[in-house]
Amino acid sequence: MDHSSQRLLKEDRVHGDVMFPLAAYWIELPAGTPVLDTHWHEEAEFFLLLEGEILFQVDTDYFPLRVGEAVFIESGDIHAAYVASEGPCRFCALVFHPDLLASAQYDVIQQQTILPLQEKRQTFPRHITPAIPWQGELLKGLNALMEAYDHKMPGFEAFMKGTLLIMLSIIAPEGRFENRSLSDDADTTKINRLKKVILYIQENYREPIRTHELSELIPMSEGQFFRFFKAMTRKTPVDYINSYRIRQAAELLRQSERKISDIALEVGFDNVSYFIKVFRKTMKCSPSQFRKGEGQSSAQGQLYP
């Protein structure tokens, strides 16, 4: 992947810090609320579903996720999640940089376990389910990690690093780990095209964006582009742009006391009434209710976990 592609639809959030690049998030969403828009980050991530049912996307793979199941997302993987049931959704996400697990010096653990993980040659299964006994052990480890992070007792960092290493030892036997170092060329092309389009949206969302501008980036006809984009993101280009703008507006509402009309203009809406309508549809509350904390939970204001 070229250097420009590395920035594409990349999430800017810092997870943890330089000394301990790991963070956990607990998210509760009311019924009908969008779960995760398409994005990626340099860190790896475990996503554990606690309530509800969703359709999860990693790159070009889609699969249903049920309560008690988890997803492992590689560094750099495009991922998203979509509502699959009418009830509320609750999940937790553990995001960490693979370098956290690196040995201080090159040793057998670095050679046989950490490097294969970093290079995606020997990694966790993408969909983790308790129906498979050894994957159930991974889920026990993941739950222990989330509990330790929640309580943050003295020494929890050592416990978390150690538990992640134990989880890597569970997938060491042949037939358990997955090798995703070689990807399908056609899928890679689709993913890079999508990244290019969404980078453009992220950099220009404050200005009017026309579908033909996006289709010319790939390039495709507008009709082809519309079908491609919806197949990859499950949203029309307009819906995706509006959703991204609303997430940016939510951040501004949480972080400032600026007028709602000013925020609407700042994130690319030229009509305040339309902004409020789209915000209410996306966030299940009005902008003023969101600001007061009367609508979605504060976690909803986060762009992505």
What would the pLDDT profile of 199-255 be if each residue is shown by its tens digit? 899 899 999 999 999 999 999 999 999 999 999 988 999 999 999 999 999 989 988
Q: Could you count the other beta carbons within 10 Å of the beta carbon of residue 214?
A: 24
What is the strand order of the sheet 127-128 is part of?
A: 22-29, 89-96, 44-51, 70-73, 127-128
Q: What is the mean pLDDT of residues 28-49?
A: 88
Q: Please, which residues have CB within 8 angstroms of residue 258's CB and are 6 or more apart in sequence?
A: 252, 266
Pick the CATH number of 185-301 from 1.10.620.20, 3.40.50.170, 3.40.50.300, 1.10.10.60: 1.10.10.60
Is the pLDDT higher at 4 or at 107?
107
Q: Please name the amino acid found at residue 181.
A: S
Domain 3-170 falls under CATH 3.20.20.70: no
Contact 172, 113 (CB under 8 A): yes
pLDDT over 50 at 72, yes or no: yes
Question: 11 falls in which pLDDT band (50, 70, 90)?
Answer: low
Place of tokens 């008690």: 68
- Cis peptide bond upstream of 219, omega within 30: yes
Residue 9 has a pLDDT of 42
pLDDT of amino acid 305: 55
Q: In what order do the strands lie in the sheet with 54-58?
A: 36-39, 79-83, 54-58, 61-65
39/21: higher pLDDT: 21
CA gap 210, 247 in Å, rounded: 20
Give pTM, 2 decimals.
Answer: 0.79
Enumerate the β-bridge partners of residue 67. Answer: none
Lowest model confidence (mean pLDDT) among 11-20, 51-60, 285-294? 11-20
Q: How far apart are CA 58 and CA 166, in angstroms?
A: 25
Could you report the per-residue pLDDT of 54-64, keeping only the tens digit for each? 999 999 899 99
Which regions of the chain carry the CATH code 1.10.10.60?
185-301
Domain with CATH 2.60.120.280 in the chain: 3-170
Alpha helices (runs of H) in the chain, residue ranges in sequence order? 3-6, 108-109, 115-118, 133-151, 156-170, 185-204, 211-217, 222-233, 237-255, 260-266, 272-283, 287-292
Nearest to 198, CA basis, from 220, 212, 214: 214
Question: Which residue is listed with tokens 């790991």?
Answer: 22
